[in-house]
Amino acid sequence: MWVAELLVKILFAFDLLWMDFLRSPRATYSKLIYWRDKILGTVEYLQSESAKWKALFTTVKMPYTVLRSFGLSPQLCASLLIGGSVATTGVVANEVMQPPSFSRGDAGIYDAPLDAPVFAAEEYNTLRLDLGTTPVGNITIEDVTLGTGFTGSTLPAGETSVIIVGGLPAVVDPAFSETYLEVGTLIIDRWRCETLAIENSEIHNLVISGNASDGQSIAAVAGVPRNRGIGGGNRADDMVTSGGYYDQLKITSAASGINGKVDILKISNMWTKGGACTISRVKAGTMEVTLNEVGGDSDLATKAFTVATSVIYKSFTNESNIELAMAVPAAQ
C-alpha cells in the first residue's frame, strides 16, 4: 500500500513541476538551478569535512620510527599503525596490559614449551626459543621480518646472524659440552636471506629443491644418519606464532649436554636483512630446504647459499636449484 502512495506522491510532484514549467519555463529552470547548486554545495562540504578528519587522524597517528623511539616494541607499533586510522583506547590498553606471549609474537627468551617468556624487555627485540628436556610436538614460526629488514631495526650487539637454528658448540669452559637440536622434520621454506649456511648436521633424508641463490655450493656428504621422529609420551603443546618484527630469531638447545627436541619445526616466509641465516648442529629425520631466495652481492663467484661437507645425509634430493644475481633485500 505504502509503495502505491509513494508513487502517487512522486507523480503528483512531477505533475506540479511540469505545470510550473508550462506556466513559467524560466522560473522553473531557476528553481532547478537553485536546488542543483544546493545539493552540490552540500556534497562538496561533506567531502571537505571528510578530508579534514582524515588529515587529522593521519597527523595524530605517529610514524613507526617515532613510536620506536619511545621504546615501544615493533609488534605494538605495528598494531597501532596498521590497525586503522584510529586506535581506540581499549585496543591500546589491551596491547599494553597483556603479558608477553609467544603465541602473540612478543619478543623475549622462551623456555619451550612455555608460552610466557623467562625474560622480556622493551629494549630486547630477539625472539629466542630454548629447547631442553621436554620434547615439543610442533613449532611453527611464519611471516616474520628480521634483522635490519624493517625501519629502526638493528642486530643485537656482537651478533652477525639474523637467524640461528640448531645446537650450540662446545666453548672454552670445559663444563659446557656441545648440544644439538633433534628434529623429526625441519621445514625451511620461503626465506629471503643475504646468505644461508647449513653445517655440522646429520640428516637422514635431505631435500634441497627450488632455491634461487646468488652463487651456491652444495657439498653434503653421504653417510648413515638414522631416521628419527620425536616422541616422548605426554609431549608439550604445540607452539605457533605468526607475524612480527624482530632483530633476531634464535632457536637453540641451550643447556649444556642436553639436546633440544621437536618433532616438526616449520620456519616459513622469513624476510631478513643485515646478517647471515645459519642452520648448525641439527640432527633431523627429514630436512626440507625449499623455495628460498639467497643473495645480495650480485656476484655468482661468492657463494651465498652453502651446504658444507660437515652435513651428512643418508638420502639426498637436490633439484631445481638455480644461481641468480641478486641485490640486497630492501627494508620493509
Each residue of 268-309: pLDDT tens digit? 999 999 999 999 999 999 999 999 999 999 999 999 999 999
* 259, 158: one domain: yes
* pLDDT recorded at residue 152: 77
8 A C-beta contact, residue 288 and residue 173: no
* pLDDT recorded at residue 83: 52
* 244, 134: one domain: yes
* 142, 204: one domain: yes
In the predicted structure, residue 84 carries a pLDDT above the cut 60 = no
Alpha carbons 200 and 6: distance in angstroms, whole number:
83
* 52, 149: one domain: no
Range of the domain at 35: 2-60
Alpha carbons 254 and 231: distance in angstroms, whole number:
20
Is 174 within a domain? yes
* pLDDT recorded at residue 221: 98
Residue 83 DSSP class? T
* 125, 263: one domain: yes
* 250, 273: one domain: yes
Least confident of 5-9, 109-113, 181-185: 5-9
8 A C-beta contact, residue 332 and residue 224: no
- Count how many domains the chain has: 3
Is 318 within a domain? yes
Containing 300, the helix (H) or strand (E) segment is: none
* Start-to-end Cα distance in the chain: 60
Is 250 within a domain? yes
* 82, 145: one domain: no
Interval 179-214: pLDDT, tens: 999 999 999 999 999 999 999 999 999 999 999 999
* 66, 56: one domain: no
The rounded mean pLDDT for the chain is 82
- pTM summary value: 0.72
* 306, 203: one domain: yes
